[in-house]
């Protein structure tokens, strides 16, 4: 493809070698907005980041939408119906923060602006809030939007359970408006703000599920989410899609392709740099593949704004792959939401697809797959590049365009793959194809590498030949 405007081209090479700090309390505190995580013990923080494994819940009996619909119409939904409705989407989940609030010393607050002298969740309440997040993940509820009131326990609960959220004073719209097709909106609010807004009072720590309708929201049921993680849950949907940054020029879709056969979860991003076309074309191609084992989560066009501009940076001149500092919250709204996508899906591997004007070690970064140093991933990538050199890159293009696997050295700072590896302990790799070959060739090679890495890691695919 034509050279991009940035002389730095593709210096994404560096995924800093992963330290074994996997979500220390400090790392978590860095991304916490309104919370007291700085005061947490590491053991508790570990629990928070040791995200649930939604696939582990995929052992239940088949879905029965008809039955659940009937229960819903009579307003006598059983808990099972509530869970089915949540997993299917098109509902609003209303959550009241868990009980257990305490006065907090200013010194305990990570961000004194956020909670000021307000009461906040007790450590037990924080553990309960995390358990709520685990419960939603176990159901695989397609949570697309989280709204909290300005009340500190509500915001804390929203953050600990779901990550990024918006704050709203008026709950009328969030409670009544449909959440978007196949999506779930979560509204977190204290009891006094919910009084009179729900058909029946909600106990602390309990979740009510509302189905928006023309005559106002209808109550599907209410239940303590912490019970969802035990026992039977509805089988997760095999295919789903939701948007992040909805309603903004950065709106983009996240696709999930899941097999009923267990296997690893791999998350793949393209289009972090809008002028690197092969990256997003390859991930778009992957969205048509059918997954025969494991789960594939795809963000084909991570930065729609830079794709529209065909540039590396957004209108404000920001390079998205420099917005993920360590031990701090991602710097932009888009970066925060992308990071939350990673947290939410709890992948076993993250792949980020790019292209470069040159070739690695000769002034560019092309034809290299940079990785975070995880030994198993390094071995996989060595095998994959060997295979691709053998059967994809034609002999006439070698040795110039032979692929290699390279352990990242940690610069430049701010890359998503680095943060994911360092703070979530998730092995990550960044693929760079050279732009010295025609675009169609770049796409072919990128797609070949992607498919082979997925297969090598145990995500079986039918790529349609
Ligand atoms: Zn790039």
Interval 412-462: pLDDT, tens: 999 999 999 999 999 999 999 999 999 999 999 999 999 999 999 999 898
Distance of CA 359 to the CA centre of its chain: 31
pLDDT value for 111: 39
pLDDT of 311 strictly over 70: yes
Q: What is the mean pLDDT of the chain?
A: 78
How does DSSP classify residue 332? S
Q: How many A from CA of 17 to the centre of ligand 1?
A: 19
- Scored b (16 or more CB within 10 A) or e, 11-25 reads bbbbbbbbeeebbbb
Cβ atoms of 261 and 294 closer than 8 Å = yes
What number of CA atoms fall less than 13 Å from residue 221's CA on the CB side?
Answer: 21
pLDDT value for 396: 96
Distance (Å, whole) CA 420 – CA 321? 12
Q: Please report which confidence band the pLDDT of residue 23 belongs to, taking 50, 70 and 90 as the band edges.
A: very low
CA torsion sign, 325 to 330 to 334 to 337? Answer: positive
Q: How many A from CA of 320 to the centre of ligand 1?
A: 9
Q: How many A from CA of 167 to the centre of ligand 1?
A: 33
Q: How many A from CA of 354 to the centre of ligand 1?
A: 4
Q: How many A from CA of 12 to the centre of ligand 1?
A: 6
Q: How many A from CA of 304 to the centre of ligand 1?
A: 14
Q: How many A from CA of 50 to the centre of ligand 1?
A: 29
Query: Given its phi and psi angles, is residue 267 left (phi above 0), alpha (psi -120 to 50 degrees) or beta?
Result: beta
Q: How many A from CA of 10 to the centre of ligand 1?
A: 5
pLDDT value for 80: 65
Quick one: tokens of 337? Answer: 């939401």
Distances in Å between the Cα of 11 and the Cα atoms of 357, 374, 377 are: 10, 21, 21
pLDDT of 380 strictly over 90: yes
Distance (Å, whole) CA 459 – CA 365? 27
Q: How many A from CA of 211 to the centre of ligand 1?
A: 42
Cβ atoms of 105 and 115 closer than 8 Å = no
Distance (Å, whole) CA 414 – CA 322? 4
Q: How many A from CA of 408 to the centre of ligand 1?
A: 15
Q: How many A from CA of 252 to the centre of ligand 1?
A: 18
Cβ atoms of 322 and 412 closer than 8 Å = yes
Q: How many A from CA of 272 to the centre of ligand 1?
A: 7
Q: How many A from CA of 158 to the centre of ligand 1?
A: 32
Quick one: tokens of 96? Answer: 């009241």
Segment holding 175, helix H or strand E? helix 172-176
Q: In this prediction, what percent of the chain has a pLDDT beyond 90? A: 44
pLDDT of 201 strictly over 80: yes
Helical segments of 371-412, H only: 375-391
Cβ atoms of 371 and 420 closer than 8 Å = no
Residues sharing a CB contact under 8 Å with residue 75, sequence separation 6 or more, in sequence order: 218, 219
Cβ atoms of 449 and 389 closer than 8 Å = no
Question: Residue 120 in 3-state DSSP?
Answer: strand
Distance (Å, whole) CA 39 – CA 28? 11
Cβ atoms of 124 and 40 closer than 8 Å = no
Mean pLDDT of 89-96: 92
Rounded-to-10 torsion of CA 443, 381, 264, 375: -150
Mean pLDDT of 307-333: 95
Q: How many A from CA of 444 to the centre of ligand 1?
A: 17
Q: How many A from CA of 37 to the centre of ligand 1?
A: 33
Q: Largest alpha-carbon pair distance within the chain?
A: 73
All structural domains of the chain, each given as residue ranges with its CATH number in brackets, are: 59-227 (3.40.50), 237-462 (3.40.630.10)
Quick one: tokens of 11? Answer: 């210096």
Q: How many A from CA of 355 to the centre of ligand 1?
A: 6
pLDDT value for 79: 63
Q: How many A from CA of 66 to the centre of ligand 1?
A: 47
Q: How many A from CA of 428 to the centre of ligand 1?
A: 15
Q: How many A from CA of 82 to the centre of ligand 1?
A: 43
Q: How many A from CA of 104 to the centre of ligand 1?
A: 44
Q: How many A from CA of 276 to the centre of ligand 1?
A: 6
How does DSSP classify residue 314? -
pLDDT value for 290: 85
Distance (Å, whole) CA 217 – CA 212? 4
Quick one: tokens of 308? Answer: 């529209």
Q: Please report which confidence band the pLDDT of residue 175 belongs to, taking 50, 70 and 90 as the band edges.
A: very high
Distance (Å, whole) CA 300 – CA 290? 16
Which residue from 143, 392, 429, 411 is spatially nearest to 268, judged by alpha carbons? 429
Where is mean pLDDT largest: 47-61, 70-84, 332-346? 332-346
Distance (Å, whole) CA 59 – CA 456? 25
pLDDT value for 153: 81
């Amino acid at each position: 493809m034509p050279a991009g405007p940035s002389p730095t081209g593709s210096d994404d090479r560096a995924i800093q070698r992963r330290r074994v700090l996997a979500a220390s309390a400090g790392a978590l505190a860095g991304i916490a907005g309104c919370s007291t995580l700085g005061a947490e013990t590491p053991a508790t923080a570990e629990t928070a980041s040791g995200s649930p494994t939604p696939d582990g819940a995929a052992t239940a009996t088949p879905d029965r939408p008809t039955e659940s619909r009937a229960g819903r119409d009579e307003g006598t939904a059983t808990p099972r119906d509530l869970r089915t409705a949540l997993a299917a989407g098109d509902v609003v989940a209303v959550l009241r923060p868990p009980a257990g609030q305490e006065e907090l010393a200013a010194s305990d607050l990570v961000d004194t602006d956020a909670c000021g002298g307000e009461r906040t969740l007790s450590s037990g309440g924080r553990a309960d809030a995390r358990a709520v997040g685990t419960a939603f993940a176990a159901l695989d509820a397609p949570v697309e939007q989280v709204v909290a009131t300005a009340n500190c326990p509500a915001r804390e609960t929203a953050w600990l359970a779901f990550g990024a959220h918006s704050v709203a004073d008026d709950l009328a719209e969030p409670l009544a408006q449909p959440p978007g097709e196949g999506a779930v909106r979560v509204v977190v609010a204290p009891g006094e703000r919910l009084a009179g807004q729900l058909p029946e009072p909600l106990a602390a720590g309990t979740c009510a599920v509302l189905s928006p309708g023309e005559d106002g929201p209808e109550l599907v049921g209410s239940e303590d989410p912490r019970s969802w993680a035990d026992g039977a849950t509805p089988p997760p949907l095999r295919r789903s899609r939701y948007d992040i940054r909805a309603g903004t020029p950065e709106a983009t879709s996240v696709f999930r392709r899941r097999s009923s056969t267990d296997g690893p979860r791999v998350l793949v991003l393209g289009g972090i740099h809008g002028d690197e076309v092969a990256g997003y074309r390859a991930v778009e191609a992957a969205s048509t593949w059918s997954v025969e084992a494991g789960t594939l989560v795809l963000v084909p066009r991570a930065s729609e704004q830079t794709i529209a501009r065909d540039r590396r940076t957004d209108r404000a001149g920001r390079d998205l792959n420099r917005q993920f500092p360590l031990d701090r919250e991602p710097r932009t709204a888009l970066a925060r939401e992308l990071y939350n996508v990673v947290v939410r899906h709890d992948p076993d591997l993250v792949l980020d697809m790019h292209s470069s004007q040159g070739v690695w070690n000769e002034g560019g970064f092309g034809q290299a797959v940079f990785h975070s140093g995880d030994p198993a991933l390094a071995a996989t990538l060595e095998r994959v590049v060997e295979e691709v050199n053998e059967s994809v890159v034609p002999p006439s293009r070698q040795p110039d365009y032979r692929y290699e696997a390279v352990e990242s050295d940690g610069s430049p700072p701010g890359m998503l793959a680095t943060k994911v590896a360092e703070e979530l302990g998730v092995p990550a790799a960044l693929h760079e194809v050279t732009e010295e070959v025609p675009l169609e060739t770049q796409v072919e090679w990128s797609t070949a590498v992607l498919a082979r890495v997925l297969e090598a890691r145990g995500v079986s695919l039918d790529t349609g030949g």
